[in-house]
């Protein structure tokens, strides 16, 4: 790899250990994808000869990795850029593919995996009760099972709490831990994901609102001569994206459903564009009539936040020229794209590709409208 970048690869069950030098030398490329709305994943590609010991090592490890009774094979890649170590991915191996070499050319071993949410999706715990427990307490209790993987739960209390009385109803889990956590997040308008922490071998299990505030990452500069730090950058504006959800709350006396429009007003997701997309559609959420008011409002807020990102952008950059690793689920500035598209954006997904001598990233980002609300985009 490039002299400015140092890689540390660790593989092993539950608590991985550094791999031998021959494995690092055989590493040909690394691809890691991290997205705000789906599970993250990675792919390691090794170049090996047909007689290499790596063929046997990976096949044995993959065979043991398929049983529920054995711990999954965990892989952690740490990238040191500018003297600062940063975990690029932390996950478990899900597939090993071996391609034999031909005509004197080396073969390859491709190791594919997902983030640690995969561990939460292996065993069905349907029927597990949670009497008189708020949502955040259920999340913390479920995540505590996976402390051995360095998972640190970070549940945020629901904006509209709804704790049922045990003599009336006791909530019970349906499905695996991952499916149940995602169901809870959907009900209260939150998101759930696991991302590597600042310290290697730690992971943050975040359960809370999608946050679109905070210190932005260094600006992406396009068409700015020597200051340009991206290879490509494209934008798209969809004026039909705006949707106004309408929830229904049932009057307890008359049993008549009362429609309540839910605007996209969230202090943790302030508008990033001064000219938002117009309301093009009204979505009647009739299924909310059978819910209590708190559940209905939470469901409406969850729908409202999905339908306001009318401006999307995508591009690619060279990390060595950009100067740092672009991270998803954070803000980033854009400069040089014109008045309509300059400003701050929320990074939805990033795909990192490392090969010998290069480190590049492809990214997708969104915001609610045109024209920046920020007078000056920070560099």
Task: Give pLDDT, residue 2.
Answer: 45
**Confidence class for position 151, pLDDT limits 50, 70, 90:** very high
Strands 242-250 and 257-261: antiparallel
**CATH, domain range 5-115:** 2.40.10
Q: How far apart are CA 77 and CA 249, in angstroms?
A: 49
Contact, 344 vs 331, CB < 8 A? yes
* In the chain, % of residues over pLDDT 90: 46
Residues 6 or more apart in contact with residue 148 via CB below 8 angstroms: 14, 15
* CATH entry, 123-208, from 3.55.50, 3.20.14, 1.10.3720, 2.40.10: 3.55.50
Q: How far apart are CA 76 and CA 86, in angstroms?
A: 11
Instruction: Give the pLDDT confidence of 86-104 residue by residue, as tens digits.
Output: 999 999 998 888 887 777 7
Q: What is the pTM of this model?
A: 0.88
Q: Structural domain boundaries of the chain?
A: 5-115, 123-208, 211-379
Task: Give pLDDT, residue 59.
Answer: 62
- Among 142-151, 246-255, 364-373, which stretch is predicted with the lowest mean pLDDT? 246-255
pLDDT at residue 252 greater than cutoff 80: no
Give the CA distances from residue 314 to residues 165, 196, 257, 331, in Å, rounded to whole numbers and listed in that order: 48, 24, 42, 14
Task: Give pLDDT, residue 12.
Answer: 87
Instruction: Give the pLDDT confidence of 98-132 residue by residue, as tens digits.
Output: 887 777 778 888 999 999 999 999 889 999 999 98
Q: Domain 211-379: which CATH class?
A: mainly beta
Residue with tokens 């889990």: 173
Of 227 and 60, the structure prediction assigns the larger pLDDT to: 227
Instruction: Give the pLDDT confidence of 312-324 residue by residue, as tens digits.
Output: 999 999 999 998 9
Average pLDDT, stretch 343-350?
95
Contacts of 61-70 with CB under 8 Å at 24 or more apart are 61/11, 61/93, 61/96, 62/93, 62/95, 62/96, 65/92, 65/93, 68/122, 68/123, 70/13
Of 187 and 76, the structure prediction assigns the larger pLDDT to: 76
Task: Give pLDDT, residue 188.
Answer: 84
Contact, 367 vs 311, CB < 8 A? yes
Residues 6 or more apart in contact with residue 37 via CB below 8 angstroms: 191, 348, 349
DSSP 201: T
pLDDT at residue 186 greater than cutoff 90: no
What does pLDDT average to over the chain?
87
Average pLDDT, stretch 187-212?
90
Instruction: Give the pLDDT confidence of 43-83 residue by residue, as tens digits.
Output: 999 988 767 777 666 665 655 555 555 678 899 999 998 88
Q: State the Cα angle at 6 between 76 and 65, rounded to 5°.
A: 20
Instruction: Give the pLDDT confidence of 159-175 residue by residue, as tens digits.
Output: 777 777 887 888 899 99
Residues 6 or more apart in contact with residue 259 via CB below 8 angstroms: 246, 247, 248, 284
* In the chain, % of residues over pLDDT 70: 94
Q: How far apart are CA 372 and CA 311, in angstroms?
A: 12
Task: Give pLDDT, residue 243.
Answer: 83
Task: Give pLDDT, residue 62.
Answer: 58
- H helices within 118-274, ranges in order? 135-143, 177-188
């Amino acid at each position: 790899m490039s002299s400015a970048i140092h890689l540390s690869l660790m593989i092993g069950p539950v608590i991985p250990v550094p791999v031998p030098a021959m494995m690092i030398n055989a590493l040909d490329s690394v691809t890691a994808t991290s997205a705000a709305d789906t599970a993250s994943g990675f792919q390691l590609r090794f170049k090996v000869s047909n007689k290499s010991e790596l063929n046997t090592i990976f096949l044995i490890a993959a065979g043991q990795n398929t049983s529920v009774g054995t711990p999954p094979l965990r892989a952690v890649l740490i990238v040191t850029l500018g003297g600062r170590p940063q975990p690029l991915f932390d996950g478990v191996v899900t597939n090993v593919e071996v391609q034999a070499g031909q005509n004197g050319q080396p073969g390859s071993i491709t190791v594919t995996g997902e983030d640690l949410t995969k561990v939460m999706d292996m065993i069905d715990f349907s029927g597990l009760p949670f009497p008189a427990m708020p949502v955040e307490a259920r999340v913390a209790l479920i995540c505590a099972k996976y402390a051995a993987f360095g998972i640190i739960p970070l549940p945020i209390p629901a904006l509209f709490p709804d704790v049922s009385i045990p003599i009336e109803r006791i909530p019970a889990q349906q499905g695996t831990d991952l499916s149940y956590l995602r169901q809870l997040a959907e009900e209260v308008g939150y998101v759930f994901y696991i991302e590597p922490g600042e310290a290697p071998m730690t992971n943050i299990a975040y359960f809370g609102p999608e946050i679109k505030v905070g210190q932005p990452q260094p600006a992406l500069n396009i068409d700015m001569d020597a200051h340009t730090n991206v290879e490509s950058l494209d934008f798209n504006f969809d004026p039909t994206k705006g949707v106004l959800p309408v929830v229904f709350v049932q009057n307890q006396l008359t049993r008549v459903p009362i429609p309540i429009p839910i605007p996209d007003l969230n202090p943790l997701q302030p508008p990033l564009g001064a000219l938002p997309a117009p309301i093009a559609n009204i979505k009647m959420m009739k299924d909310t009539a059978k819910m209590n008011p708190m559940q209905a409002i939470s469901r409406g807020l969850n729908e409202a936040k999905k339908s306001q990102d009318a401006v999307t952008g995508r591009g690619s950059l060279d990390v060595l020229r950009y100067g740092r690793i672009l991270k998803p689920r954070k803000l980033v500035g854009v400069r040089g794209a014109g008045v309509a598209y300059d400003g701050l954006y929320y990074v939805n997904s990033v795909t990192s590709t490392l090969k010998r001598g290069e480190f590049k990233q492809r990214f997708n980002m969104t915001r609610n409208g045109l024209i920046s609300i920020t007078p000056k985009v920070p560099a």
